[in-house]
Structures are given as structure tokens and as C-alpha cells.
Amino acid sequence: MKIAAIVLVTTLVVLLAVWRFAVSAGAVGLLDLADRFVGGTSGIQVAASGERYGPLADQRVEVIVPAAQSATRRPVLLFIFGGAWKSGRPEDYRFVGRTFARAGYVVVIAGYRLVPDGVFPAMLEDGAAAARWTIDNAARFGGDPARLYLMGHSAGAYNAAMLALDPQWLARQQLSPAAIKGLVGLSGPYDFYPFTSPDTRAAFGHAKDPAATQPLLFVKPGAPPMLLLSGEDDTTVKPRNSLALAKALTAAGMPSKAVLLAGVDHAGTVMKLAQPFARDRRVIDSALSFLAAHGGASAPVQGAGD
């Protein structure tokens, strides 16, 4: 028995190391596989997969909802994934949908054009179009279009923040920032000019007015409330981005909160939305508490693995 236990523990440690490496290398699909294997798929259902909000291949969504019926419409969470604006697929982030659908949300995971086709401002045009589609279609999935929340990781957190702060993008879809009831940013870059990395130069280096690309410079009264989570060990997108944006929003009369998580790196904030890493509930509990405080779901409808 002792030998079997040692083998099991060793196998789990190796698997965790492989998954962690895979995520850092961009293979998020393996993280989704781990979540399905460890956490299962009970309590949720994939209501739509690959449905288009625009004519292009990247303009597609995954919709994941609670399996249980509800007498009232559920809040809606639009998740925008990261990947340095050059990689990512909505279907690889179903683990985010499973996590928040179990907590009572209709979850829409939106793709968007990626570099080289998706340079600024294409990612924001697509994000706004995805928000329009989400509001227009929420009701058919049991969602409440009047309770739309944004969440993004890394590049996706940037996209979400720009939608919330620069009104021109939503306005092109006949929406206002007031349509967004709250935003959760995970490890987001909000103040990164000058463009010093190859990824930011590829996505934004052509911009005639670099200031027009920076979320921090669009802070003003009337922005939706924001929770900005970063890992203290993040060397990819420095935690100062979250601290600076939260400070600016609060100074503008829109109290927002930056939370730095000890022992967490850049990938860690999104990894903790998937099993088995979600056993560290700091990201999930912070996000759910914030969303509930601003009109979101107040209690889970199905526990992982139930």
C-alpha cells in the first residue's frame, strides 16, 4: 500500500508539473483536459460551441451554462482569454465556463482576431461585437442581458479593460460602458507603453497614437467597478499594472481593488480557475465575492465533482 501511495503521489506531481509547463507554453487545452479529468463535467452543459458573432473564423464563442433550470434569468459572464494577442481558442477555455457555470453564471467565452490579422484595434472591435452578441443572445441561454460582467486574463484582461474604459468601442455596437456591471482582470497589462516586448510591438507597434492603446489613460468617472488580480511572482506582466489602474480608478471616484496573490505567477491566476489547481480558491472566491457584490450570482448551483 505504501509503495502504491508513493507511486500515485509521484505520478500526480509529475502530471502537475507537465500541466504547468504546458500552460506556460501556451497549451491551454491540456489544462482544460485536466479540469475535465479531475473535476468532471457534471452540473453544467455546453449550450453552444463555435457559434459565430461575426463572419471570420476567429469570431466565435463557446457558451456554457448551469445544467439546473432556474426560475429567474442568470447573470452573464463574458470571458476573454489571453495569449499575447497571438494565440488562443475559445474551446480550450471551457474550464472557465465550467467553474463559473457551477456558480450560477451563463458563461460566454469569446475568440477574437489574433496577430497578424488581429493587430490593434481589431481585438477591441471583436470584443465589442462579442459583447453585442452576448447581450442579444443571453436570454435564449437563460441569461439576463442587463447583468453582463467581463473577465479576462492577460491580453484578454487588456481587451476587457479597454472595452470598459474607452467608450468608442462599445459605442460602435450601440452599447455604452453602463452595459458592463463589473470587470475582473487577471494579470492584465494596463500601462505598457513604450512597447518593449516583441508581442506588444507586433500587436500595437503600428499605432499612430500609442496613448490611444493604454487603458490607464482612459480612466474617468463612470467606469464599471473592477477587481484586478495579479500574482506577486508575475514577471510577464508586472503587478504594478493592476496597482496603477486600481489607484487611478479610485482617485477618479470609482473605487476598485487590486489584489496581489503571494506565490502566484502570470499563468497562475487563470490556472486557479481549473481543477486541480482550483483547490487554491483565492482567485475563484475573490472573483465570486466581487461579482456577487455587484449584482452577480450569490451562491453556487453545483459543486465541482458533484
Which tens digits make up the pLDDT trace of 143-158?
999 999 999 999 999 9
Q: Over the range 23-44, which residues count as b (16 or more CB within 10 Å of their CB) and which as e? A: beeebbbbbbbbbeebbeeebb
Reported as a pLDDT band with limits 50, 70 and 90, residue 298 is confident
Instruction: Tell me: pLDDT of 13 over 60.
Output: no
Secondary structure of the chain: what % helix, strand, coil (to 5)? 45, 20, 40
Strand order in the sheet with 180-186: 44-52, 60-66, 106-110, 74-80, 143-153, 180-186, 226-231, 257-261
Q: How far apart are CA 94 and CA 32, in angstroms?
A: 7
For 85-107, what is the mean pLDDT? 97
End-to-end CA distance of the chain: 28
Place of cell 470587470: 183
Q: What is the pLDDT of residue 209?
A: 97
Reported as a pLDDT band with limits 50, 70 and 90, residue 306 is very low
Instruction: Tell me: pLDDT of 19 over 60.
Output: no
Residue 148: all three cell numbers together: 453582463
For β-strands 180-186 and 226-231, DSSP reports them as parallel
**% the chain with pLDDT above 90:** 86
For 50-77, what is the mean pLDDT? 97
Helix, strand, or coil here: 239?
coil
Domains within the chain, CATH numbers bracketed = 2-293 (3.40.50.1820)
For 191-206, what is the mean pLDDT? 97
Q: What is the pLDDT of residue 60?
A: 98
Q: Judge whether 101 and 47 are in contact, CB under 8 Å.
A: no
Helix, strand, or coil here: 42?
coil
Q: Which residue has the higher pLDDT, 204 or 13?
A: 204
Residue 101: all three cell numbers together: 457555470
Q: Which amino acid, one-letter code, is at 251? A: A
Q: How far apart are CA 239 and CA 42, in angstroms?
A: 35
Reported as a pLDDT band with limits 50, 70 and 90, residue 266 is very high
Helix, strand, or coil here: 285?
helix
Q: How far is CA 193 from the centre of its chain?
A: 22
Reported as a pLDDT band with limits 50, 70 and 90, residue 305 is very low
